[in-house]
Chains A and B, each alone.
Chain A
Amino acid sequence: MTNKDLSIDEIIDIVKKESKKSNESQKSSIPKKTQPFSSKESYTIEELCALHDRDFIKNAYLALLKREADSEGFDKFLNDLRSGGKDKVQILSEIRFSDEGKRNGVKVPSLKKVYLINKLYKIPVLGYILKWFVTLLKMPKLILRMNEFEAYTNARFLDFEEKNSRFLHALEETEANIKNLYKKSEDYFGFKEFIQKELEHSKRDYENSINGLKEEMNNNLQKNLNEITTRQKFIDEKINSVMRENYEKIKYLEDTTITLNEDYRGFKHFVENKLKKLKEESLQDFTEFQNFKDNILTQQKDMRDNFYKVSEDYHGFKDYVSMKIENGIPKEKFEHLEKELFKKYEDYNGYKKYAQEKFDSLSYEITTKSQKEEIKELLKIIEEHKLYILDNQKRVSFILEELRKRLPKKIEKDQIKNVLQEEDHLLDAMYVLFEDRFRGLREDIKRRLRAYLPLLSKNKILKEALTVDLGCGRGEWLELLKEEGYDAVGIDLNRVMVEECKKRELKVDFCDALEYLKGLKDNSLSMISGFHIIEHLDFEMFVKVLDEAVRVLKQGGMILFETPNPVNLEVGTSEFYIDPSHKNPLHPKSTAFLIESRGFIDVGYYFIEHKELKSTLKDPKEYPLKTFEDFMKVPKDYVLTGYKA
């Protein structure tokens, strides 16, 4: 076929068709090369001749040419071998000394000899003679080989017969087995049929019983259903009759309500009229009272202005006096000044009397008018002024005293100092007012303080020695102690407070707490108390006080300090800071620790819960701090106690 004339499309067509046909059948003219199963570099002739017929040739190719036999060569050599034309060795030599064989170069000793001899055979005439000669030489070997071959063949044949009989035997056995199995399968089928019949029977029985049950069930259901319907009818009738009854009752109630409403309205009207009248009357009274109040206020204002003027006069006078005192003043001038002051003083007294009288009449008038809220307010303001007046009265009287003292003799510097020092106590009165406003009434305080009485009973030596209240203020605690029969003394740095207490016949001194304690002998007191004082001391001062307390208390003596509780959220974040003289909030834990560290034993603290009519000491553990509300519910004050060992 001349391919030169085919077009490209034709070529592609042919190739595609051919590819469909191909699968395994395509063998190349040069076949595949694979590694032989035991590829070696050299073989002996015996090895290679050990195989026969097809195997021999296949192996020869693999060993000598390292490839599968091609169909051409294979057929050719097989033919040669079978026809007897060539013997194995000759074939081997032909293969080995072909071009390809030479290239592969597998060593087969003595094969070359054979090859060369075969070549000689090809020489005409001489070759034929040589062949005969060699064959003659080979004859004995050939006969040997033939015998060997015969024996081998016989052996093989016997082997085969044996194998064959064994095979036939095995075949018979298998046949018997198959027959057995067949019989078994027949039995099996018979059994299967039997089982099936049985199943059919039981299925039918089962179905019957199921149907029976179904019928029964249906009947029962029907009965139940009927019953339920009758019952339902009965219930419906009942409900209807009840509803009818209720309807009538409801109607009756409605009618009654309407009448009541009307009555109520009438009554409301009547009450409203009454109230209106009362309001008008009270309004009258109120306006009257307002006028009165305004009066008082204007008078107050006048008083105040006057007072300030006097105060100025006083200051001016004071400076003047001090100056004069330095320079020396004639007697007459003093006398004149004295007279002036006296007059002013008398004015004050007069005015005071007037104010008092007015006040008394006012309080009488006011109580008959029953306007309690306004009155309370007013009373408070008046008290304020009372105290202001009191204070100044004191100052003025003091000045007068000093002046009187001075008139006959020279004025000493100490006395001047005292005058000047009075300034320090100008605030005292204010503080008293402050206390009144923010701490509460005296009676309330006393009621609260009763909570500590149980603590007092714990102190065994209380009756044996003196107890001191530091910063006793208005003396509520001292009063309580006195009532309980304890010997109590108080000290305070506020003159007005001290005066108040003295008026109530309480033993109070004007003195600094630390100085006072320092002045006492060792082991002389049974108790030292302090209510709302320690928050006014700075840390160092408080420690000093504690140290002195340890020294001064008798064995078994106790300290008792009440102070605001910063654990309460309100106190800790705002209320504590209302009093500007408070130093820092004192946390119960750290303060207790401090007291312990300064030498006290049995140190503890209680929260004080204040109810309307009673206050109680509480264990802090009763106030768990988990939610926000808990922090608001903690009592606002707590008390620390400690004992001397």
Chain B
Amino acid sequence: MTEGLRDALLRAGHQVEILTMPFKFFPESEVLKATEGWLKQDLNQFNGYTIDRLISLQFPAFYANHENKTLWLMHQHRAVYELYDEKNASKDLKKLKNEIKKYDDKILPSFKKRYAMSKTVAERAKRYNGIDSVVLYHPPFNEERFYNKEPFNYLFFPSRLEELKRQYLLIEAMRYVKTPVKAIIAGEGGQKVRYQKMIEEYDLKERVSLIGEITEEEKYTLYARSLGVFFTPYDEDYGYVTLEAMLSCKPVITCKDSGGVLEFVEDGTNGFVLSNSPFELAEKIDFLYENRKKAKEMGRAGYEIYFQKNISWDNVVSKLAD
């Protein structure tokens, strides 16, 4: 997203630089160090140049100070907000939570113009830090490469193999799918071994495939030839997969607690919003297989919804850099 914004700003004729630092999220003391480091940054003047505008995107870089700063909130430090578990939190984490909340409450309201990457992010900021922000969507990377073709019989789930992405919901659902539809899960991550074990255990080797890392071209084609896209993360910030699916004119199956995905998927119009129950999910997977025409229609509806929402870099640039 950052590079996309930079390129869009460059196309619009601005001089842009990206400013970032490697971020260690463990141990908690490193997080605090990074926070304090960014708090000290005054970016009004830089080596003799005046910086006219600062666009802050995420924690902990949004602590840097500037007279004319705009916030386009991508992430806060989720570990101390919605992912924070009071019972299991270590002492260090508790301390970190208090520190970060203190800083966020102080610094975030100091932005005069506040945008958020999605409604989910905006609502979180409102709930935890009491600040309002305007939702501003942006296109996924290489949006023009996505295309649509006659589907084969598989559902596609591209994402990092992480706990939060919950590919296991698809694997669980495939146990109860009655039609010959397959599932292709693309991506690498820490959960790979666990998912492989699950597939073996449930004897789903013929139905579910973990194909690992894929190239960009393969990705576009996998989208284009899928019957539908299965995307059920937990409380996703935004969800590029949803947008990519819509650009490829494919229906999206998601869950009620998937966060940002729900901002683009309307149940029954361009996809389904279901509970986490594998039976419910399997039901709808079968439905897509048995109603190919309806699936195509839903896909096309998704495409139109994409354009209705005016998701473009021009729009982003006009709001952030006016």
Contact code string B201-233 (vs A, CB < 8 Å = 1, else 0): 000001111010001011011101100000000
A12 and B211 contacting across the interface, CB-CB below 8 Å: yes
B206 contacts A8, C-beta separation under 8 Å: yes
Whole-angstrom distance between the Cβ of A612 and the nearest chain B Cβ: 74
A16 in contact with B249 (CB, 8 Å): no
Give CA–CA (A20, B218) in the complex, Å: 8
Asked if B218 and A15 make an inter-chain contact with CB atoms under 8 angstroms apart, the answer reads yes
Q: Which label, helix, strand, loop or mixed, suits the secondary structure of the B interface?
A: mixed
Instruction: Indicate with 1 or 0, residue by residue over A1-32, a CB within 8 angstroms of chain B CB atoms.
Output: 00110111101101110111011001111101
For the complex with contacts A8-B209, A18-B225, A32-B144, 15 further pairs of A-B residues with Cβ separation under 8 Å are A3-B151, A3-B152, A4-B153, A8-B154, A11-B153, A12-B184, A12-B211, A14-B152, A15-B218, A16-B218, A19-B215, A19-B217, A22-B221, A23-B217, A29-B148
The one of A12, A28, A33 in contact with B148, judged by C-beta atoms closer than 8 angstroms, is A28
Q: Please, which residue of chain A has its CB at the minimum distance from the CB of B154?
A: A11
User: In the complex, are the beta carbons of B152 and A11 less than 8 A apart?
Assistant: yes
Task: List, in ascending order, chain B residues with CB within 8 A of A14's CB.
Answer: 152
Closest to B227 in A: A3
Given the complex of chains A and B, what is the CA–CA distance between A3 and B217 in angstroms? 22
Q: Are B184 and A30 in contact (CB under 8 A)?
A: no
Supply 7 A–B pairs (Cβ within 8 Å), ascending by A: A3-B151, A6-B152, A8-B182, A12-B211, A15-B225, A16-B221, A30-B303
Q: How many residues of A contact B (CB 8 A)?
A: 24
Q: Which of B153, B208, B312 gathers most chain A CB within 10 Å?
A: B153
Residues facing A in B166-205 (CB within 8 A) are 180, 182, 184
Q: Across chains A and B, which 6 residue pairs bring their CB atoms closest together, nearest first?
A: A19-B221, A19-B217, A28-B148, A8-B182, A28-B147, A19-B218
Q: Which residue from chain A places its CB closest to the CB of B208 in the assembled complex? A: A8
A-B contact count (CB 8 A): 63
Shortest distance from the beta carbon of B275 to any chain A beta carbon, whole Å = 27
- Contact partner of A33 (CB less than 8 A), chosen from B184, B208, B307, is B307
In Å, the complex CA distance between A9 and B211 comes to 10
Please indicate the chain A residues that have their CB under 8 angstroms from the CB of B182 in the complex: 8, 11
On chain A, the residues within 8 Å of B312 by CB distance are 35
**Residues of chain A within 8 A of B147, CB atoms compared:** 26-28
Q: Is B119's CB within 8 Å of the partner chain A?
A: no
Whether the Cβ atoms of A8 and B184 lie closer than 8 Å is yes
CA distance A19 to B224 in the complex (A): 10
* Docked-complex contact B221 and A12, CB < 8 angstroms: no
Q: What is the chain A residue whose CB lies nearest that of B181?
A: A4
Chain A residues with Cβ under 8 A from B225's Cβ? Answer: 15, 18
Q: A8-B184, A9-B209 known; A15 and B153 CB under 8 Å?
A: no
Residue ranges of B at the interface with A (Cβ–Cβ < 8 Å): 144, 147-149, 151-154, 180, 182, 184, 206-209, 211, 215, 217-218, 220-222, 224-225, 249, 300, 303, 307, 312
Residue in B218, B249, B307 whose CB lies within 8 Å of A28: B249
Bound Cα distance from A8 to B221, whole angstroms: 15
The answer to whether B206 touches A7 (Cβ under 8 A) is yes
Given A8-B154, A18-B221, A22-B221, verify A30-B307 contact (CB < 8 Å).
Answer: no
Shortest Cβ distance from residue A543 to the other chain B in the assembled complex, whole angstroms: 66
CA distance A7 to B184 in the complex (A): 12
List chain B residues, Cβ under 8 A from A30. Answer: 148, 249, 300, 303
Contact indicator B180/A4 (Cβ below 8 Å)? yes
- A3-B153 contact given A19-B217, A29-B148, A33-B307, CB 8 Å threshold: yes
Which residues of chain A are near B151, meaning CB under 8 Å? 3
**What B residues does A29 contact at CB under 8 A?**
148
Contacts of A6 in B (CB 8 A): 152-153
Complex Cα–Cα for A35 and B218 (A): 28
| Residue of chain A at shortest CB distance from B226 | A15
Closest chain A CB from B16 CB (angstroms) = 23
Closest beta carbon of chain B to A3's beta carbon, Å: 5
Cα A22 to Cα B249 in complex, Å, equals 18
Residues of A within 8 A of B (CB): 3-4, 6-9, 11-12, 14-16, 18-20, 22-23, 26-30, 32-33, 35
Contacting residues, chain A, for B249 (C-beta < 8 A): 28, 30
- A16 CA to B151 CA, complexed, in Å: 14
How distant is the Cα of A365 from the Cα of B221 in the complex, in angstroms?
137
Contacts of A22 in B (CB 8 A): 217, 220-221
Do A15 and B221 have beta carbons less than 8 Å apart? yes
Point out the residues of chain A lying under 8 angstroms from B152, CB to CB: 3, 6, 11, 14-15
Least Cβ distance of A498 to chain B in Å? 86
Which residues does chain B contribute within 8 Å of A20, judged by CB atoms? 217
* Residues of A contacting B184 in the complex (Cβ-Cβ under 8 angstroms): 8, 11-12
Cα distance, A9 to B225, chains bound together (Å): 14
| Complex Cα gap A32–B207 (Å) | 33
Minimum CB distance partner of B186 in chain A: A12
Q: Which residues of A contact B149 (CB under 8 A)?
A: 26, 28
> Cβ of A15: which chain B residues have Cβ within 8 Å of it?
152, 218, 221-222, 225
Chain B neighbourhood of A35, CB < 8 A: 312
In the complex, A14 Cα to B154 Cα: how many Å? Answer: 13
Assess A19 versus B220: contact at CB under 8 Å? Given A28-B249, A29-B148: yes
Give Cα distance in the complex from A292 to B21, angstroms.
Answer: 102
Task: Name the residue in A16, A20, A27 with the highest tally of chain B Cβ atoms < 10 Å from its Cβ.
Answer: A16
Residues of A within 8 A of B217 (CB): 19-20, 22-23
Residues of B within 8 A of A23 (CB): 217
Q: Which residues of A contact B215 (CB under 8 A)?
A: 19
Chain A residue numbers with a CB within 8 Å of B224 are 26, 28
Contacts of A9 in B (CB 8 A): 209
Docked CA distance A16–B186 (Å) = 13
Q: How far is the CB of B106 from chain A (nearest CB, A)?
A: 41
Measured CB to CB, the nearest residue on chain A to B209 is: A8
A22–B208 Cα distance when bound, in Å, is 25
B223 to chain A, nearest CB (A): 10
The docked-state distance in angstroms from the alpha carbon of A12 to that of B182 is 11
CA A7 to CA B182, docked complex, whole Å = 8
Tell me, rounded to whole Å, the shortest Cβ–Cβ distance linking A32 to chain B. 7
Measured CB to CB, the closest approach of chain A to B163, in angstroms, equals 25
Complex Cα–Cα for A33 and B151 (A): 22
| B218: chain A residues within 8 A (beta carbon) | 15-16, 19
Q: Which A residue's beta carbon lies closest to that of B204?
A: A8
- In whole angstroms, what is the CA distance A11 to B222 when docked? 10
Closest partner residue, chain A, to B146 (CB atom): A28
Q: How many angstroms from the CA of A33 to the CA of B303 in the assembled complex? A: 10
Which chain B residues lie closer than 8 Å to A11 at the CB level? Answer: 152-154, 182, 184
**Max chain B Cβ within 10 angstroms of own Cβ: one of A15, A20, A23:** A15
A16 to B220, alpha carbons, bound, how many Å?
A: 10
Q: How far is the CB of B154 from chain A (nearest CB, A)?
A: 6
CB–CB B209/A12 < 8 A: yes
- Chain B, Cβ-Cβ closest to A14: B152
Q: How far is the CA of A405 from the CA of B215 in the complex (A)?
A: 141
